[in-house]
Amino acid sequence: MASNTTNVPTSNRVKLVVASSVMLTFISFWRAAAIVLNDLGSSAFYAGGIAEEAVGKAAPWFILGVMLFSFAVRSVYVESCSMFTRGGVYRIVKEALGGTFAKLSVSALMFDYILTGPISGVSAGQYIVGLLQELFNVGFQYHVLPGSHPFVFGPHAIDHSSAVFAVLVTLYYWWKNIQGIEESSEKALSVMKITTVMVILLLGWGIFSVIHKGSPLPPAPIPSNLHFSPDALGFLKHTHFATMLGAFGIIMAFGHSVLAMSGEESLAQVNREIEHPKLPNLKRAAIVIAIYSFIFTGIGSLLAVMLIPDAVRVPVYRDNLIAGMAMYMVGPQMLRIAFRVFVVIVGFLILSGAINTSIIGSTGVLMRVAEDGVLADWFRKPQRKYGTSYRIVNMVAGLQVLTIILSRGNVIALGEAYAFGVIWSFTFNSLAMLVLRYKYKGERGWKVPVNFRIAGVEIPIGLFSVFLVLLSTAFVNLFTKATATISGTIFAAVFFVLFSLSEKDNKRRNSKVERQMKEHFQLEHQDTVGREALEIRPGCLVVTMRDAENPYALRWAVARTHTDDQDLVVLTARMMGMGGPEYVDPSEQMFSEHEQMLFTKAVSVAESFGKHISLLVVPAGDVFAALVQTANSLEASAVVSGLSSKMSAEEQAFYMGQAWENLPNPKRQFTFYVVKPTGDSVGFHIGPHAPALQADDVQLVHRLWLNLKRYPEMQELHHRDIVTYALTRLAGEYARDRQEIVKELRRSVVEPANKIAGPSTRPTLDRGAPSYPIPPPRPPSEQE
Amino acid sequence: MDTALAIGVRFVETLFFVGLAGSTVVILLSFVEDFSQLFSQEDEK
């Protein structure tokens, strides 16, 4: 890709280089699969109950069918991810179908994402309240608690308590997102490990119980076995047609089960972060996700119907079906209750994680459309203390809390609405992909099979088939999901109007901002960051800047830098949330008023000191990755950052170090300075460096050298040989007995009372040594 | 009205079941390809 210079340089304007490639940290396909499964796997906790309430006892077959079909939907997402597009659902659909469809598509996706939070939170609440009820009953049964047995919460009490729980968890994650927590792949992997233990126990014990009890399979998925609830008939409820559904009933049942594959869209969100080789790893992640969710959600729902008796399955366990399975396994009651507790813990972890994912996902989508100029600039203003897009987070969390309150904790109502968002967002995506087969001529790594060519024209049979299933299901859902159709249409209409008005307003504002930017700055777009673009020398100083009102880190750096000898680069990371692109086209990089203020302030600070600076904007998925990658590309000798509002200077340095370790070779070390608002600073070496030895340590090495030098064969000995020998010996001992070395090291580092500096462990030299004592070695923590 | 409804219903049913048949082929082919990719050491050319 060639670089694209937007403006002709003039002498009085500060150079502002804008990078197009997004700076990211990459994850393995296992971690990517874990992130998606945290969302997709969570639907196993409620999809079975919702589907059975709607279509009757044959529901598990439809869940299994949907999970099988999700293999095909996964293929569509793999194809969309394999295209080198500018990313984001809005961009893809806009390119294929135009702006109006793109706005509708984003609205449907938002409906899906927003509802993921409430349904997950309420479902987690249902599992917890159900468990409490069970524990109370056991307490009464064994006279541990005073009172009567059985103890039953009223239906409204369960729903309302679940709603309160969901609101509290949503508010917790709202605050965490305001502070700017990242979705950690490490945490997702840990949750999936514990979930896998539960799934193995659930399926293993479940299959054993089914065989032991001789439980029959659910009735076959044929029209005569479908028993729709009045709500599941939707607008058809009072029509003559409702009495003679036939094969149409199969589509209706399929539509009521479609929420089992909700979360599949997260695959497109994590795609950007998957490590090289991208496409094979994406396909690996996709197949792991599909198999896992088929087994967990599909087989799990089937076993639930086989194990839990009809009399209690829907009335008691509809909203906590897996907990019900635990209670009807073969085995002692206490073991079953213990397993139920485990199920609830896992459910809480995965479902509350899904709330966080939904806030992050919704925020990511809205940030992306805001960057595309479809959401008012007002939403992009960062939070003063934490730098997050707090207005978007507030809106997302506000809508989620409102949804929970309106649903009053009713999982069925939430599930209905959720399915609307899921099916329409999948349908728009597959339609866009179908159209792009003809419109998009760029790079495409993979195509959904089967494809034929007739007279030179490609016929995408496979993709068209998937689209037909999605479209017909979405269409039927319009008639059979009354609440979802009404609420979804209102939601989509509101968002559509919001996007349309924002777009109009942004166009007006952006032309003004762009004109002013061109007046004040010499804008230059580059694919990647390099010294040549900025015209700087090696060993520069990179300063991060986020807050135009309080640029103390920049002031600190400018005051200490002689820009005649050392170049100073002011870096602004443009955060591209989850689901953002890997590459941002120069023509699409719009500057917000906030960014304009930031750059103007940076220049005025530098001018007040009579210094010259260069400005650099990098799109980033991870701020630390952006900093180390930029520092490495610019061959910087130091990076200066203000103290974070949410972590200590040491934590900032730790994350910088971690990002540096993930950098590919060649990479160079630099010093990282964290400047506090008071003007004090702390410096950290990033990358391998000589440890800052204390005078005592140097003395010890020197005395050892003096002792050893007395031997005739040691005449060539140097100080460094002693250090090398000591380290080699430590490495050898560590290889032989890791535990022992770790134990000793911990004693010396963590437990000051047991430091090896104690008199009993003080090393001694032979009597022929010089007549001054060797001081005790100091623990490493004090050396650094 | 009933005739129009019946035609509409048959049309949607046809779309769905034809799509389902095609999707089955997609599922089989992509599953075989991706499953072998999962255990393959061969990476992107």
Angstrom distance (rounded) from CA A740 to CA A469? 61
Largest CA-CA distance found in chain A, in angstroms, rounded: 109
- Percent of chain A scoring above 90 in pLDDT: 45
A295 close contact with B: CB closer than 8 A: no
Residue A641 has pLDDT above 70, yes or no: yes
A469 close contact with B: CB closer than 8 A: yes
The residues with which A541 forms a beta bridge, in sequence order, are A568, A638
Give the distance, in angstroms, between the CA of residue A757 and the centroid of all CA atoms in the same chain: 46
pLDDT of residue A586: 64
Residue A124 has pLDDT above 60, yes or no: yes
DSSP letter at A634 equals T
pLDDT of residue A765: 42
Of B16, B42, B43, the CB nearest to A468: B16
Q: List chain A residues with CB under 8 Å of B44.
A: 276-280
Determine whether the interchain pair B37/A464 forms a contact, defined as Cβ–Cβ distance below 8 Å. no
Determine whether the interchain pair B12/A251 forms a contact, defined as Cβ–Cβ distance below 8 Å. yes
pLDDT of residue A444: 79
Give the distance, in angstroms, between the CA of residue A12 and the centroid of all CA atoms in the same chain: 43
Which of A29, A30, A61, A71 should we substitute to test contact with B (largest number of B Cβ atoms within 10 Å)? A71
pLDDT of residue A588: 63
Determine whether the interchain pair A287/B35 forms a contact, defined as Cβ–Cβ distance below 8 Å. yes
Chain B: give the shortest CA distance to residue A287, in Å. Answer: 6
Q: How far is CA A94 from CA A20, A370, A432, A439, A765, in A?
A: 20, 15, 8, 12, 78
Of A247, A254, A279, the CB nearest to B44: A279
Please report whether residue B3 resides in a domain.
yes
List the single residue in A with minimal CA-CA distance to B15. Answer: A468
**B7 Cβ contact list (under 8 Å, min separation 6):** none
DSSP letter at A563 equals T
Higher per-residue pLDDT: A255 or A690: A255
Over its C-alpha atoms, chain B yields an Rg (Å, rounded) of 19
Among A28-37, A170-179, A595-604, A733-742, name the one with the lowest average pLDDT.
A595-604
List the single residue in A with minimal CA-CA distance to B20. Answer: A469
Q: Would you state the structure tokens that stand for residue B25, as one six-digit string?
A: 């082929």
Residue A103 has pLDDT above 80, yes or no: yes
pLDDT of residue A31: 92
Residue A131 has pLDDT above 90, yes or no: yes
Chain A: give the shortest CA distance to residue B8, in Å. Answer: 11
A504-525 pLDDT, tens digit each: 888 887 777 777 777 777 777 7
Residue A239 has pLDDT above 60, yes or no: yes
Q: How far is CA A535 from CA A17, A459, A555, A615, in A?
A: 10, 51, 22, 11
A147 close contact with B: CB closer than 8 A: no
Q: Would you state the structure tokens that stand for residue A764, as one six-digit string?
A: 């001694």
Of A241, A248, A469, the CB nearest to B20: A469
**A530 Cβ contact list (under 8 Å, min separation 6):** A633, A634
Higher per-residue pLDDT: A38 or A645: A38
Residue A768 has pLDDT above 70, yes or no: no
DSSP letter at A238 equals T
pLDDT of residue A27: 87
Q: List chain B residues with CB under 8 Å of A280.
A: 37, 40, 42-44
pLDDT of residue A198: 97
- The fold for domain A14-18+509-686 equals Rossmann fold (3.40.50)
Q: Would you state the structure tokens that stand for residue A55, as one six-digit string?
A: 């279509």
Q: List chain A residues with CB under 8 Å of B3.
A: none
Largest CA-CA distance found in chain B, in angstroms, rounded: 60
Residue A601 has pLDDT above 50, yes or no: yes
Of B5, B13, B25, the CB nearest to A462: B25
The residues with which A640 forms a beta bridge, in sequence order, are A543, A673
Residue A95 has pLDDT above 90, yes or no: no
Q: List chain A residues with CB under 8 Å of B38.
A: 283-284, 287-288
A286 close contact with B: CB closer than 8 A: yes
- Percent of chain A scoring above 70 in pLDDT: 90
Q: List chain A residues with CB under 8 Å of B40.
A: 280
A465 close contact with B: CB closer than 8 A: yes
Q: What band does A541 get if pLDDT is binned at 50, 70 and 90?
A: very high
**A422 Cβ contact list (under 8 Å, min separation 6):** A112, A258, A259, A261, A262, A265
A472 close contact with B: CB closer than 8 A: yes
pLDDT of residue A564: 86
A473 close contact with B: CB closer than 8 A: yes
Angstrom distance (rounded) from CA A40 to CA A23? 27
Determine whether the interchain pair B27/A465 forms a contact, defined as Cβ–Cβ distance below 8 Å. no
Over its C-alpha atoms, chain A yields an Rg (Å, rounded) of 31
Residue ranges of domains in chain A: 14-18+509-686, 26-375+410-480, 695-783
The contact set of B with A (CB < 8 A) is 5, 9, 12-13, 15-23, 25-27, 29-31, 33-35, 37-38, 40, 42-44
A144-174 pLDDT, tens digit each: 877 766 667 777 888 999 999 999 999 999 9
Q: How far is CA A267 from CA A36, A73, A272, A355, A423, in A?
A: 6, 11, 9, 17, 16
Residue A777 has pLDDT above 50, yes or no: no
A652-687 pLDDT, tens digit each: 999 999 889 888 888 888 999 999 988 888 888 888
Angstrom distance (rounded) from CA A127 to CA A121? 10
Chain A: give the shortest CA distance to residue B38, in Å. Answer: 5
Angstrom distance (rounded) from CA A677 to CA A588? 35
Chain A: give the shortest CA distance to residue B10, in Å. Answer: 8
Determine whether the interchain pair A469/B29 forms a contact, defined as Cβ–Cβ distance below 8 Å. no
pLDDT of residue A750: 63
Higher per-residue pLDDT: A745 or A543: A543
Q: List chain A residues with CB under 8 Å of B16.
A: 250-251, 254, 468-469, 472-473, 476
Q: List chain A residues with CB under 8 Å of B26.
A: 71-72, 75, 448-450, 462-463, 465-466
Mean per-residue pLDDT over chain A, rounded: 85
Put simply, whether the predicted model's pTM sits higher than 0.90 gets the answer no
pLDDT of residue A89: 65
The number of distinct structural domains making up chain B is 1
- The fold for domain A26-375+410-480 equals Amino acid/polyamine transporter I (1.20.1740)
Q: List chain A residues with CB under 8 Å of B42.
A: 280
Q: What band does A725 get if pLDDT is binned at 50, 70 and 90?
A: very high
Determine whether the interchain pair A280/B21 forms a contact, defined as Cβ–Cβ distance below 8 Å. no
Determine whether the interchain pair A469/B30 forms a contact, defined as Cβ–Cβ distance below 8 Å. no
- Angle, helices A411-439/A247-257, rounded to nearest 10 degrees: 100
- Which residue do the tokens 């762009």 mark? A514
Do β-strands A451-454 and A457-460 pair in parallel, antiparallel, or remain unpaired?
A: antiparallel
Determine whether the interchain pair A75/B26 forms a contact, defined as Cβ–Cβ distance below 8 Å. yes
CB atoms within 10 A of CB A692: 9
A181-217 pLDDT, tens digit each: 766 788 889 999 999 999 999 999 999 999 999 999 9
Residue B33 has pLDDT above 50, yes or no: yes
Of A241, A284, A469, the CB nearest to B37: A284
Buried b (16+ CB within 10 A) or exposed e, A368-405: bbbbbbbbbbebbebbeebbbbbbbbebbbebbbebbe
Q: What band does A464 get if pLDDT is binned at 50, 70 and 90?
A: very high
State which amino acid sits at residue A718. H
Angstrom distance (rounded) from CA A467 to CA A321? 31
| Best CA proximity match to A297, nearest among A670, A37, A679, A582 | A37
A84 close contact with B: CB closer than 8 A: no
Q: What range defines the domain where residue B20 resides?
A: 1-40
| Best CA proximity match to A270, nearest among A385, A189, A390 | A189
Chain B: give the shortest CA distance to residue A282, in Å. Answer: 10
A402-456 pLDDT, tens digit each: 999 999 999 999 998 888 889 998 999 899 899 989 888 777 789 999 999 998 8
Mean per-residue pLDDT over chain B, rounded: 87
Q: How far is CA B25 from CA A427, A483, A535, B31, B42, in A?
A: 19, 34, 56, 10, 25
Determine whether the interchain pair B23/A69 forms a contact, defined as Cβ–Cβ distance below 8 Å. yes
Residue A314 has pLDDT above 80, yes or no: yes
Mean of pLDDT values over A265-283: 86
Angstrom distance (rounded) from CA A309 to CA A298? 19
Please report whether residue B45 resides in a domain.
no
pLDDT of residue B5: 83
Angstrom distance (rounded) from CA A690 to CA A697? 13
A26-375+410-480 has the same fold as A14-18+509-686: no
The residues with which A638 forms a beta bridge, in sequence order, are A541, A671
Residue B14 has pLDDT above 90, yes or no: yes
Contact by Cβ (8 Å): A575, A623 = yes
Angstrom distance (rounded) from CA A634 to CA A612? 17
Interface of A with B in 683-712 (CB under 8 A): none
Q: List chain A residues with CB under 8 Å of B9.
A: 241, 248
pLDDT of residue A115: 93
Mean of pLDDT values over B2-8: 84
> Is A654 buried (19+), middle (13-18) or exposed (0-12) by CB count in 10 A?
middle
Give the distance, in angstroms, between the CA of residue A113 and the centroid of all CA atoms in the same chain: 13
Angstrom distance (rounded) from CA A431 to CA A435? 6
Higher per-residue pLDDT: A439 or A252: A252
Please report whether residue B15 resides in a domain.
yes
Contact by Cβ (8 Å): A330, A209 = yes
Q: What band does A762 get if pLDDT is binned at 50, 70 and 90?
A: very low
